[in-house]
């Protein structure tokens, strides 16, 4: 990442109130293990999960828009407190607009992290498009921030932590919680 990119994306962090994430390649490493019964298994990073839960608990809007439709993914994300989960999304712009309208949000408040071509149209619309280090080249080209972490390996934690730190909500009063 070059220095100019680093400076430009930080200007947007203070206005972010909403995180929207793709799943495969962002919350997972993009690998699917297929069992003999045809189940498709994905791996998610526990530190990404902690960051998602922390963002929800801090009052940020968190939404998932994914083309995948694995109900195990839904269950995991609901367990983190995420209520707005759009699976099987083939037109992500439609889900984005529905979500923004539902909560009366502006695109200028949104950080969206995607990794591949289906995310491209949405990323062109939001204020802070981001991607993991191993995203497709087209996605990197439209991203204002490219994480130094790969998908499923802490890229979600990276962006959430940065935004929450700017809002003084990342490690708030952890000492008091753990005394």
Q: How many domains does the chain have?
A: 1
> What is the pLDDT tens value at each position of the chain, 179 positions in all?
444 455 579 999 999 999 999 999 999 999 999 999 988 889 999 999 999 999 999 999 999 999 998 889 999 999 999 999 999 998 999 999 999 999 999 999 999 999 999 999 999 999 999 999 999 999 999 999 999 999 999 999 999 999 999 999 997 555 544 44
Rounded CA separation 63/56 (Å): 10
State the pLDDT at residue 175: 52
State the pLDDT at residue 179: 47
- In the sheet with 61-65, reading across from the earlier edge strand, the strands are 84-86, 61-65, 18-21, 110-113, 128-131, 145-146
Within-domain flag for 113: yes
Q: pTM for the complete prediction?
A: 0.91
The three-state secondary structure class of 18 is strand
**Cβ proximity of 114 and 132 under 8 Å:** no
Within-domain flag for 8: no
State the pLDDT at residue 171: 78
State the pLDDT at residue 2: 44
Within-domain flag for 178: no
Rounded CA separation 41/70 (Å): 9
Residue positions counted in the chain = 179
Q: Copy the structure tokens of residue 102.
A: 């539902």
Q: For residue 70, what are the domain limits?
A: 14-167
User: What CATH number should be reported for the domain holding residue 92?
Assistant: 3.40.50.1000
Within-domain flag for 6: no
State the pLDDT at residue 174: 54
**Cβ proximity of 70 and 42 under 8 Å:** yes
């Amino acid at each position: 990442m070059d220095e100019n990119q680093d400076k430009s994306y930080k200007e947007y962090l203070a206005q972010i109130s909403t995180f929207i994430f793709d799943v495969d390649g962002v919350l997972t490493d993009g690998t699917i293990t297929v069992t003999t019964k045809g189940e498709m298994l994905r791996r998610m990073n526990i530190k990404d999960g902690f960051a998602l839960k922390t963002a929800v608990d801090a009052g940020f809007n968190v939404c998932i828009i994914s083309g995948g439709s694995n109900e195990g993914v839904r269950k995991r994300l609901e367990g983190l407190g995420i209520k707005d989960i759009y699976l099987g999304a083939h037109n992500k712009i439609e889900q984005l607009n529905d979500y923004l309208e539902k909560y009366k949000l502006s695109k200028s408040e949104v950080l969206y992290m995607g990794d591949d071509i289906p995310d491209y149209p949405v990323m062109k619309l939001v204020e802070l498009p981001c991607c993991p280090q191993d995203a497709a080249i087209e996605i990197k080209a439209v991203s204002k921030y490219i994480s130094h972490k790969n998908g499923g390996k802490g890229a979600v934690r990276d962006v959430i932590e940065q935004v929450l730190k700017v809002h003084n909500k990342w490690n708030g009063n952890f000492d008091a919680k753990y005394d």
